[in-house]
Every structure is written in structure tokens, then in C-alpha cells.
Structure 1
Amino acid sequence: MASKPTIQVIGSLNIDFVTLTPRVPGPGETLTATSMTVHAGGKGSNQAVACGKAAFTSTTEQDVNVYMIGAVGNGDPYYASLLKPTLETGGVSTKYVEEIEGVQTGTATIIVDTGSNGQNRILFVPGANQEVTDVQKILDIETTEGVPDVVVMQGEIPRSTVLGLLKAFNSTSQKTAVVFNPAPVFPDGLPLESLKGMAVLVVNETECLLLFKVIEELKGTSSVPREEDLTEYHLDRLTKVIHDRTNISIVVVTLGARGVYFSASEGSTRGLVPAEKVEKVVDTTAAGDTFVGYLATALARHLSTKNKVEDFDIQKAVKRANQASAKCVQRSGAMESIPFGYE
């Protein structure tokens, strides 16, 4: 019997403090909010749970192994009672989550504006996530379970770590596909050089425009569109330059209510997949992470039999990831709002 494909997610683990409010208070204003709840979170752990849940083909069976690599504060009661069990219930192994003395687990304070269709504002305290700095140690962990089919990364661990890992994975001869979601964007940005040879880059509108700015500056021009003017024409133009300069196999741009744009370097596979219609948006907190997790899981399944990212049916994967995100936004919370694959 063939072994299951493997995904390893390197990233942040947080405790989310979520406050629902009918509107966001102005400067110096105090409002009575609707509720405050505590959830397991962090972009890394959210995406790991999205991978894990996407891998459930039934209530008891997973067809992809998912591991979380990151750090929390040692002895944190929220990790033991909430974050760890939530990861494991979501089908994620926590054996490579390090508990570090003398630092707190990362936290996110999330304000959900129910009066503005569930839009959120987030304050992130990195805590132990800032201690994820030993690139060689992470690379050693990566191969403990055999070479992973897919590695997923985001921007809530140190920039130097991410750049070191990207260089290692994208330049190695081993068959590991990197799915990178550079969110939140590092203040110092990312050099295009660091993206060379990557399998999948997933960005939202804001991150896409930052890439536009980098490329236009390299060309000595400044024709960067505004976010509201980001058309399919602009996206075609941008992704063609990205493919040419970095040899990234697939670029995906999430456009919120407008849907998802995708572009593959091989041939002319590109286009816009409309967003799924939902009756009511409750909370958008983990929608993007759900999308990334479902996309990464589809890629891991593909690579377990095909070995080439270029043959991946990106349009089909984007449609399914869209459906999962649509289910997610109709529920409150982060990890607990992510749907299982069998749903």
C-alpha cells in the first residue's frame, strides 16, 4: 500500500481573542461590544488545520499526513487546553511544536465588525513565533518523516527564517513543492529572487499590488493600479512578468467577493473563478487560510501520483478551495470555522 502524501506547515501558533462589535470605536471612544471569545489561531496553525481538515475523506479517515512546525510558550495553559487539542482534532500532528521557556505564546486580538459584513481588524503579538529562527533545525525536522510533498509557509515568523527556508527548498533537488502565502507582508518586503523556483504563490489584492510595485520599480516605471482598479488585464500582465522573472509554477490572487484569479506558467492556463455566493457572512477571519489549506492539500494529493506541479489542475483546486472558504465565512471563529473535506 502506497504511503500517504505529506504536508508540513511552518508558521505561527496563536491564541485569538475575538471581540464582536456592531461597529469599531473611534479614537477615545468606549463601546459596549456584543461578545468576547478565546480561540486557537495563528496563520500557520489555521493553514495546518485547513490542510488537516481538507484531508478528511470521512469522519475517521485522512488521505494526507499533516505536521505543524512552530513554537509556543512553555507551560501555556491555552496551548495545552485549547490550541494543541484543536490542531489534533483537525488532523494535525503537533509532535514538532516546540515549547520555549521565557516567552509567551503568540496572540491576536481580533475585532469583528458585524455592522460591516463581518470584516475584521487584527492586532498581532508575535511572542514565541519570533523564536522560530533556526533554519537548519527546521530543515532537519522536515526530513524526519521523509521528504514532504508540500511545505506551506506564511509571514508570521521572522523574515530571515522564511528567506532561508525558501532558498533551501526552492534550490534543492528534492521534490518538495512550496506553497507560500506572504501574509502579513514583511515591512521590508520580499526580494523577487527569493521566490525563484517556487511551486505556488498565493497573495491577496494588497500583497499583489506590492509585487506590482516591486516589478514596476525594477523596470523603472510606476504604473501601479489602485486596488479597486485591479482588473484581469492587470493580473495577466503582472503574473506573466512574475512567471518570467521567477519561474514560479502557479500564482493565485484572492480577490475577496470578486473571486480568485489563477495563472500557471505552463501554457495559457489562467483566469478568474467567481466567488461562491453565500446567504450571510458571519466572520471572514480564517477564509484566506482555509483557501490556502485546501489548495495545498489538493497539490499534495496530485504530487503523490504525478510528481510534476505543471500537471496540477489548478482551476479545479481553486473551485474547491473557494467552496471551502464560502463555508468558513458562514461560521464564527478561526480553526473551528474551517470545514472538513467530507462536508
Structure 2
Amino acid sequence: MTTPLALAVVGSINVDLTARTERLPEPGETIGGGRLVREAGGKGANQAVAASRLGARVRMIGATGADLDGSWMRAELEAVGVDVADVRTGHEATGVALIVVDAAGENQIAVCEGANAEVSLDGVEFAAEEAVLAQLEIRMDVVAELARRVRGYLAINAAPARELPEAVVERADLIIVNETEYALLPALRAARRVAVTYGADGAKLFEGGIEVAAAPAVKIEVANTVGAGDAFCAALTVGLASGIPADRALAAACAVGAAAVADPRSQPRLATLERYLPA
């Protein structure tokens, strides 16, 4: 990208409390010997941070609590160049995700949404040249409002899997899901463009239900899968919204996802997007 893409990320901001254990607990079981890590997270914030590190000019639209965690989350976003002027202070506490990650990088996650339920577009304007990326850890009425108001490129990461309003499916320039979410949301077969991730089998891009591009996964040692999907979403949105051809953008997004898997953090260190584009 010669001129950085302007990108607004609308979504969740959480504190991630991650317990790293040898294996995931069974129902009702207690696992000892864990190591607790406290770090910045939330699908929205993860995607904003990844997009900024990939080279986009990013602003975050979200909400935190009027607490120390909220101040910390804003500072973490600002530290990587994300504009937080549209992050509002809500009445609830800053959101928290409780995560358990095993030695193979698999995870279990429970999210307490907190202030994320108060994300609002009141007073927010979107420029025609600005791309927008949102996820479903915020209220669906906010996502529906984006479909009505966004004038530029609109990407929706339909995760966690929830039924999307027909108007959102019709309006979105890109919808990103994993294999399970794609199976749970049959309406996506009619969407304009859908990217589906298949874990170790890479990713595919569909237009009107027809496959138009595919990219293999990059083989790498897994440290943590929590932030990989968010990094993939950021990379693919930045690539496609910047005009990079679909096959190259998809391959780069798979490479970014692999880099994220190799990093134990929910907000992995990444190079600029050009570094991940195929030769």
C-alpha cells in the first residue's frame, strides 16, 4: 500500500485473563499447574491493533468502563497508533474474556461483555473513502446501523456465530467466518463475498456461493490460536479494501494468521502487510 488505508474498527475491547495449562479441563474438572497472563484483547481491539501493525491508519469505535482496565486498554491501543477518540466510557466495567489455552494452543473462552454492550455510533461519521470492519461481540442493532450508514468498504467478521439481518448480508462487501460459522449461517451462501477459514486447510473466498479463490495454510508451530482469526480478518480486510487482488490478499491473510498462531499473545507482533504478500 502506497497510501495507508483508512480503517474504522467497530467492536469489542476486553481484558484477556488467560490461564495456560497442559490440557483443557473436562466439565466439572479442576486443572492445576496453570500460569495466568493478563493482557489486552477483545475481537475489535485485536483487529484494530493488527490492522495498525499491518500498515493501515486505524481508529477504534468501542466502549470501556470508567475503570483502570479501561484506561489501560485505551493506552494499549494508542501505543500502536490506533485513534481512540471514538472509544466511549460506559457505565459498566470494561469487558473481560476468561480464556484457558492448552499446550497445543487450543482454547476455551467465556466473555463477560461489560461496557461492550454500550458501544454506540452516536456522533460517529464515516467518510466515503474509509473502510469499516466490525464483529459480533457488540449489539446486532449497531451492526445493522453500520449497514445503513457506512458509505465505503464494509467488512463483517460474523463471529461469534449469530444470524445476520438480511440487510447486513446484502450490504457487506466482505463477510469473514470460520468453517463452523459458515455451516451455521446458510444465508451467507447468497452474500456478495464470503471468506471462510478452514484452520490447517487454509481459506477460501466465495462470491454468491461460488469459490473464486483459495489459499493454503502456512505450516507453523502453534503457540496460541486466540488472536489468529482476528489477525486474518484485519489482513484480508486491509488487503481487499486496498485493491489487492483476491488471491494475493487471501494468501497474505493466511500468512498473517500463521504469524499470529506462532505468537502467544492475543495481539501478536506483525510486520506490514507487504511482507506477507506472495512473491
Which residue number corresponds to residue 196 of structure 1?
Answer: 170
What is the alpha-carbon distance in structure 2 between the residues aligned to residue 161 and residue 264 of structure 1? 25
Contact 2:205 2:212 in 1 (8 A): yes
What is the alpha-carbon distance in structure 1 between the residues aligned to residue 30 and residue 166 of structure 2? 44
What is the alpha-carbon distance in structure 1 between the residues aligned to residue 31 and residue 44 of structure 2? 32
What is the alpha-carbon distance in structure 2 between the residues aligned to residue 51 and residue 209 of structure 1? 27
What is the alpha-carbon distance in structure 2 between the residues aligned to residue 197 and residue 77 of structure 1? 38
Counterpart residue identity of residue 145, structure 2: G
Do the aligned partners of residues 27 and 301 (structure 1) sit closer, same or farther apart at CA in structure 2, a change above 3 Å counting?
closer
Q: 2:199 aligns with which of 256, 267, 276?
A: 256
Which residue number corresponds to residue 109 of structure 2?
Answer: 122
Shift of residue 5, structure 1, vs aligned partner: 3.2
What is the alpha-carbon distance in structure 2 between the residues aligned to residue 264 and residue 26 of structure 1? 40
Shift of residue 3, structure 1, vs aligned partner: 6.8
SS of residue paired to 2:92: coil
Shift of residue 14, structure 1, vs aligned partner: 0.3
Q: 2:154 aligns with which of 175, 178, 182?
A: 178
Contact 1:112 1:119 in 2 (8 A): yes
Which residue number corresponds to residue 44 of structure 2?
Answer: 44
Shift of residue 264, structure 1, vs aligned partner: 3.7
Contact 2:223 2:263 in 1 (8 A): yes
What is the alpha-carbon distance in structure 2 between the residues aligned to residue 259 and residue 161 of structure 1? 31
Shift of residue 79, structure 1, vs aligned partner: 2.9
Greater helix percent: which structure?
1
Contact 2:147 2:167 in 1 (8 A): no
Kindly provide the CA deviation profile for residues 182-229 of structure 1, in whole angstroms up to 9, marking residues without a partner as x.
Answer: 11123xx223343113211111111100122xx5xxxxxxxxxxxxxx
Q: How does 1:248-327 map to 2 (within 5 A)?
A: 248=192, 250-264=193-207, 270-278=212-220, 280-302=221-243, 312-327=244-259
Shift of residue 291, structure 1, vs aligned partner: 0.5
Write out the 4+ residue segments of structure 1 that deviate beyond 4 Å after TM superposition. none
Q: Which has the larger displacement, 11-20 or 198-207?
A: 198-207
Over the residues paired in the alignment, what is the CA RMSD in angstroms? 2.2
What is the alpha-carbon distance in structure 1 between the residues aligned to residue 25 and residue 33 of structure 2? 10
Aligned length: 273
Does residue 332 (structure 1) correspond to residue 264 (structure 2)? The answer is yes
Counterpart residue identity of residue 68, structure 1: M
Which residue number corresponds to residue 160 of structure 1?
Answer: 141
Q: 1:90 aligns with which of 55, 80, 84?
A: 80
What's the TM-score once normalised by structure 2's chain length? Answer: 0.90
SS of residue paired to 1:196: helix
What is the alpha-carbon distance in structure 2 between the residues aligned to residue 294 and residue 112 of structure 1? 24
Contact 1:8 1:142 in 2 (8 A): no
Contact 2:41 2:266 in 1 (8 A): yes
Listed as ranges, the gaps of 5+ residues in structure 1 are 56-63, 216-237, 303-311
Contact 1:8 1:148 in 2 (8 A): no
Listed as ranges, the gaps of 5+ residues in structure 2 are none
What's the TM-score once normalised by structure 1's chain length? Answer: 0.74
Contact 2:214 2:250 in 1 (8 A): no
What is the alpha-carbon distance in structure 1 between the residues aligned to residue 260 and residue 3 of structure 2? 30
SS of residue paired to 2:124: helix
SS of residue paired to 2:61: strand
Counterpart residue identity of residue 199, structure 1: D
Q: 2:179 aligns with which of 179, 184, 205?
A: 205
